[in-house]
Structure 1
Amino acid sequence: MTARRPRRPAGHLIGAYGLLALTALLVLVFSLALPRTFPTLDTVDSILSNQSIPAILALAAMVPIVTGAFDLSLGYGLGLAHVMVLRLIVDEGWPWPLACLTVIAGGAAVGVLNGVVVEFGRIDSFIATLGTGSMMYAVTGWITDGSRIVPGPQGLPPAFTDLYDSTFLGLPVPAFYVLALAAVLWLVLERLPLGRCLYVVGSNPRAADLVGIPTRTYTVYAFTASGLIVGCAGVLLAAQQQIGNPSVGLDYLLPAFVGALLGATAIRPGRPNALGTVVAVAVLAVGLTGIGQLGGDFWTVPLFYGGTLLLAVGLAGYAARRRLRGGTGTAVDSGTGPPPAPAVPP
């Protein structure tokens, strides 16, 4: 006879699916408060379209967090990627597919650089990625000379702008990009040995070394994946904005980390995960949309993000400690791999 797996306590279900319940509650509250504007297809389209880039960037921020590192260069990399795409298309006359692939490859190269600086340079990830991010911001200013890149009278190729503007099954295409990326990351992190090794590196680097996992190599992998995703987000941002703004990327940095850290409290509490990140972005999107339709002032947005970030870090740390105390993060319990990484490094 095989031993029965222990039932999950009610507290675990609340922790895992609490954000989903909160999303439904916010939708209900705002629908009752704003019956004419909130529960409409236009609102759904707006949320799915406008929050696609923040969601992709949150998923990019999540991958290094799995290994216990933080990539603060995300916003700078996003800004550089989107102006580079427009520079190559508008000023250099490159075909848009080649320009996009070049920028995405460049994003991956930046990720490799971040990983090498952090692991082989033995520099704290906060400091290292802040330094490389500042350098990318300088490169962005040098490329644009501090001004915007504006297409000529002929505009951008329609096929390029359709990367963001088109629809599929009646929904904005960017929403499907998010779902596809989240599915790939979920498969890699939860079902493949690569993801399990990344979690071990973030949970206990010394133990990873003892069992033969090359921690430095896997951390570089995580930063590379993050840079690759940022490059894709930069292409999408260029298709959305259609004007190269050298400072626009910084606006996405805080929402990305709020989504990634808050996502560590959902679906798989105590460990960063792709599905939880998507749920967290949904909560933020619904909250911000409702606040905006209620007529909230401009300062309510940074207040909302800042307060949510503090709450996310606190809840993620608590969930990680509770998971370790309860012994629910072991490989035996999950049946799939090693213990999860804490949401924030100790």
Structure 2
Amino acid sequence: MTPPSPHRSLLDHLRGHVIGTYGLLALTALLFLYFSLTLPDTFPTRDNVSSILSNQSIPAVLALGATIPIAIGKFDLSIGYGLGLAHVVVMYLVVEAGRPWPLACLTVVVGGALVGALNGVVVEFARIDSLIATLGTGSIMYAFTGWLTDGSRIVPGPDGLPAGFTGLYDSRFLGLPVPAYYVLALTVALWVVLERLPLGRYFYVIGSNPRAAGMLGIPTRRYSVYAFAGSGLVVGCAGILLAAQQQIGNPSVGLDYLLPAFVGALLGSTTIRPGRVNAVGTLVAVTLLAVGLAGIGQLGADFWATPLFNGCTLLVAVGLAGYASRRRLRSGLTAAGRPDAGQPDTGPPNTGRPVAAPRNDGDGDGAAT
């Protein structure tokens, strides 16, 4: 049998790489084009684009928050409950306690980070699976939300909320809603952390192989707590944005955002950097979901079409994410067969320096000496 041409193999590899990296982005563009041709009077308009950017800003922020623990191979199911609690606390501090809104926002952001860190401690030091642990802590958050509001809504007085606070969501800049810029800024910040800083590289190493990360001297428990704290901080920001949008404190809101957040994060792991979650991929996935939901809504779909769309997309996202991870692993194994693949590793990928041998510091982690 004639072996395949090396040029053809290279072409197939490049084609597969391009499709895997940019396929979801191309699908988003095609979906937008389809709805624009189908609904030329309503869909490709500036008002509709602004509405999509504004309405999907909170799911996008929450999806970026969910991305951080997934990078270390954990899941934070408390983010939906945390979103509900954060927006209720903001409203309580501003309306009931009469605190200045900047102080209330700062309190919620710091509190979100602390609650996230507590999630990390429960997962890592109590040795409870992240799905179970965060489901339990999320239920506690929901109970605290009910206790704080007594099951009723927090409604502002006749004077309403401060204009500066509502402006966090209602303002516009260069003709576009300000929340779109929040999402873009958070995406850039998270991309820098995950792709350019040692912190993000350690997250990926831990998510790929926690045991190997410990042997390389990475304190896995500590960085896991950092990941959950980062997720909680982002959830706090999303809660502030939700309060500025809703302008009431509703104890039952929050869980509706949980599924879209995980769909965006998991689907995002199949693009840009296939096989691992990444900030830009999450943004692309959220954009695809936003375009799809807006299109089927304008086509007159029934109310059940949204959860059906989200559920089916989640299943597809999980399947594609698993396939991308297996393909990435196979590529690594293939590369290991090359003559230069037998060189020993001296540290985590792209750290630029060797890592000292681990020592036992009493908490089960490897720590560099």
Tell me the TM-score normalized by structure 1.
0.93
2:297 matched to which residue of 1?
292
SS in 2 for 1:271: coil
For structure 1, the 5+ residue unaligned runs are 1-5, 339-346
Cα deviation 1:168-227 (Å, max 9, x = unaligned): 111100000000000011001001111000100000001100010000001100000000
User: What SS is found at the alignment partner of 1:9?
Assistant: helix
Q: Which of the numbers 175, 198, 204 marks the counterpart of 2:180? A: 175
CA distance in structure 1 between the partners assigned to 2:350 and 2:63 by the alignment: 25
1:79 is aligned, of 69, 79, 84, to 84
Is 1:309 the equivalent of 2:309?
Answer: no
Supply the distance in 2 between the matched residues of 1:120 and 1:77 (Cα, whole angstroms): 21
Aligned to 1:327, the other structure's residue is in SS state: helix
Tell me, yes or no, if the aligned pair for 1:191 and 1:336 is still in contact at 8 Å: no
Question: Separation in 2 of the partners of 1:134 and 1:14?
Answer: 41
Shift of residue 12 of structure 1? Answer: 1.2
Q: Distance in 2 between matches of 1:335 and 1:92?
A: 49
5 Å-filtered alignment, 1:80-119, equals: 80-119=85-124
Q: Secondary structure at the match of 2:75?
A: coil
Partner of 2:59: 54
Max Rg structure: 2
**Greater mean alpha carbon deviation, residues 35-44 or residues 328-337:** 328-337
CA distance in 2: counterparts of 1:330 and 1:224, whole angstroms? 36
Give the whole-Å Cα distance in 2 for the aligned partners of 1:181 and 1:317.
Answer: 26
Matched with 1:234 is: 239
One-letter amino acid of the counterpart of residue 307, structure 1 = C
Asked whether the 8 Å contact 2:53–2:180 carries over to 1, the reply is yes
What SS does the aligned partner of 1:309 have? helix
Counterpart pick for 1:215 among 211, 220, 239 = 220
How far the C-alpha of 1:325 sits from its partner, in A, is 0.3
Verify the 8 A CA contact 1:323 1:329 in the aligned structure 2: no
**In the alignment, is residue 198 of structure 1 matched against residue 203 of structure 2?**
yes
> Which residue of 1 is the match for residue 350 of structure 2?
336
Could you tell me which runs of 5 or more consecutive residues in structure 2 were left unpaired when the two chains were aligned. 1-9, 342-347, 353-369
Give the match's secondary structure for 2:249: coil
After superposition, the CA RMSD in angstroms is 1.9
2: CA distance, partners of 1:164 / 1:337 = 39
Asked if the contact 2:201/2:349 (under 8 Å) is kept, the reply is no
**How much identity, in percent, do the aligned residues show?**
74
Structure 2 counterparts to residues 243-258 of structure 1, below 5 A: 243-258=248-263
Secondary structure at the counterpart of residue 254 of structure 2: helix
Runs of 4+ in 1 over 2 A off after TM superposition: 328-338
> Which residue pairs with 2:147 in the alignment?
142
Q: SS where residue 15 of structure 1 aligns? A: helix
Within 2, Cα distance between the matches of 1:189 and 1:249?
27
Tell me by how many angstroms 1:337 deviates.
5.4
Check whether the contact 2:268–2:277 (CA below 8 A) recurs between aligned residues.
yes
2: distance between equivalents of 1:267 and 1:237? 29
Alpha-carbon spacing, 1:337–1:290, altered in 2? closer, same or farther (3 Å): farther
Question: Structure 2: how far apart are the matches of 1:107 and 1:12?
Answer: 38
The code of the aligned residue for 2:43 comes to F
In structure 2, what residue type is equivalent to 1:282? T
Shift of 1:336: 3.5
Answering whether residue 287 of structure 2 is matched by residue 282 of structure 1, we say yes
